């Protein structure tokens, strides 16, 4: 099984086929060549965690065979960043883990996940340099939600989700106080900000799914999001504490002029990124993802170990966005007393 020392050396390769670019392997290296056969990029297969292909590309049986041999996943997305398939590579046949997933009941893990998310939303608001009364008010409100979720440990799922929704209504207008923010509407793409958020969340989603596959989790069996046909509920669950990474990057990218309204076209009332810019947007989000990749891996590994040992919810991992560290909420609680 992949350990942290091997994982930190691995990279995510983004490939967007443009004007005849071709993907091949030679001498244990992944090679990207232009239409004239000139090498544009080369990387050893031993240090690839995921190959992210954006757009149309022919993948041969040889490439699939080598991805299995060297242990990296191949993720396929359209130019508009719609995920449609993944060839995952990881542990298989972890039946004991699957049985534990299927028989798990309760809302304790869901409470800790949402508590972790709101704590990181609060920390993200606190990172804004020019804080004003509006943002400070939001931080105070989030503090009340955090205190409630800390002290009330036996909550119904609808109550937990209600606090998550209320926190989002407080958080999003403030994290995007630098623009004309309307509301958060996932996947509808009704403005360029929501569309940009969807791009970042999709890349985060795919990365976390690949890490979960290392341990052979059934990604369709969640503890927070309800299970229904074809939804990878566990991936949706475990990406929640990491969403503020994407939120802050979008705010920062807008301020720096990296994400602009002019980068999008409106098709059927949906704001779609111009396909020639797909690689640029993916690269920007990938920088932040790679900065936090060790934390994501340690979080999933900690979740796996705690789940397999049937530990209490407060002994599960907790992601601190400020210092990119994974702790245990039980220890966090003791330190604050």
Report yes or no: 233 and 222 within 8 Å, Cβ to Cβ: yes
Report the distance separating Cα 268 and Cα 273, nearest Å. 13
Q: Write down the mean pLDDT value for the chain.
A: 88
- CB atoms < 10 A from the CB of 193, how many? 22
* Percentage of the chain lying above the pLDDT 70 cut: 95
- CB atoms < 10 A from the CB of 141, how many? 17
Torsion sign across C-alpha atoms 264, 265, 271, 276: negative
Q: Are residues 100 and 8 both part of a single domain?
A: no
Of the ranges 33-42, 113-122, 220-229, the best mean pLDDT one: 113-122
Q: Are residues 131 and 49 both part of a single domain?
A: no
The H or E element spanning position 157 is helix 157-175
* Percentage of the chain lying above the pLDDT 90 cut: 52
Q: What is the pLDDT at residue 200? A: 95
Last residue of a domain, one of 87, 105, 122: 87
Tell me the Ramachandran region of residue 311: left when phi exceeds 0, alpha when psi lies from -120 to 50, beta otherwise: beta
Q: What is the pLDDT at residue 159? A: 96
Q: Is 60 exceeded by the pLDDT of residue 333?
A: no
Q: What is the pLDDT at residue 8? A: 76
**Structural domains in the chain (count):** 2
Last residue of a domain, one of 87, 117, 134: 87
Average pLDDT over residues 251-263: 96
Q: Are residues 75 and 103 both part of a single domain?
A: no
The H or E element spanning position 13 is strand 11-15
pLDDT-derived band at 2 (thresholds 50, 70, 90) equals: low
Q: Are residues 80 and 136 both part of a single domain?
A: no
Q: What is the pLDDT at residue 197? A: 96
Average pLDDT over residues 276-294: 89
Of the ranges 51-55, 225-229, 233-237, 324-328, the best mean pLDDT one: 233-237
Q: Are residues 201 and 278 both part of a single domain?
A: yes
Q: What is the pLDDT at residue 336? A: 45
- Domain that residue 50 falls in: 4-87
Q: Are residues 131 and 74 both part of a single domain?
A: no
How many helices and strands (H and E) does the chain possess?
12, 11
CA-wise closest residue to 110 among 151, 152, 158, 157: 157
Q: What is the pLDDT at residue 285? A: 93
Q: Are residues 298 and 197 both part of a single domain?
A: yes
Q: What is the pLDDT at residue 329? A: 64
What is the CATH number for 102? 1.20.120.920
Q: Is 50 exceeded by the pLDDT of residue 320?
A: yes
Q: Whole-prediction pTM value? A: 0.85
What is the CATH number for 58? 3.100.10.20
pLDDT-derived band at 117 (thresholds 50, 70, 90) equals: very high
Place of tokens 């999001």: 225
Report the distance separating Cα 294 and Cα 315, nearest Å. 20
Last residue of a domain, one of 48, 69, 87: 87
Any idea what DSSP says for residue 54? E
Comparing 42-56, 119-133, 172-186, 235-249, the range with the smallest average pLDDT is 42-56
Report the distance separating Cα 225 and Cα 232, nearest Å. 9
Contacts of 165 (CB under 8 A, 6+ apart): none
Place of tokens 């719609």: 82
């Amino acid at each position: 099984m992949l350990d942290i020392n091997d994982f930190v050396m691995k990279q995510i390769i983004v490939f967007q086929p443009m004007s005849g670019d071709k993907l091949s392997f030679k001498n244990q290296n992944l090679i990207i060549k232009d239409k004239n056969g000139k090498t544009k990029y080369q990387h050893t297969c031993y240090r690839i965690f995921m190959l992210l292909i954006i757009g149309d590309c022919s993948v041969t049986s040889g490439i699939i065979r080598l991805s299995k041999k060297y242990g990296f996943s191949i993720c396929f997305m359209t130019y508009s960043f719609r995920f449609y398939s993944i060839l995952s590579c990881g542990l298989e046949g972890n039946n004991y883990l699957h049985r534990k997933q299927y028989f798990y009941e309760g809302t304790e893990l869901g409470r800790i996940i949402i508590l972790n998310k709101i704590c990181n939303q609060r920390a993200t608001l606190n990172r804004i340099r020019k804080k004003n009364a509006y943002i400070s008010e939001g931080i105070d409100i989030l503090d009340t939600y955090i205190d409630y979720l800390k002290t009330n440990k036996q909550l119904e799922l609808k109550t937990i989700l209600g606090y998550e929704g209320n926190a989002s209504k407080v958080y999003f207008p403030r994290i995007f106080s630098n623009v004309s923010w309307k509301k958060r509407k996932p996947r509808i793409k009704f403005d360029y900000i929501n569309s940009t958020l969807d791009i970042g969340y999709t890349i985060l989603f795919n990365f976390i799914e690949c890490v979960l596959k290392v341990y052979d989790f059934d990604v369709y069996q969640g503890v927070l999001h309800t299970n229904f046909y074809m939804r990878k509920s566990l991936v949706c669950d475990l990406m929640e504490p990491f969403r503020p990474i994407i939120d802050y990057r979008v705010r920062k990218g807008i301020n720096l002029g990296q994400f602009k309204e002019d980068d999008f076209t409106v098709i059927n009332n949906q704001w779609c990124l111009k396909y020639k810019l797909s690689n640029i947007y993916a690269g920007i989000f990938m920088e932040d993802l790679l900065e936090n990749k060790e934390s994501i891996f340690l979080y999933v590994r900690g979740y796996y170990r705690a789940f397999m040992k049937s530990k209490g919810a407060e002994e599960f991992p907790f992601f601190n966005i400020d210092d990119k560290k994974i702790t245990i909420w039980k220890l966090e609680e003791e330190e604050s007393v």
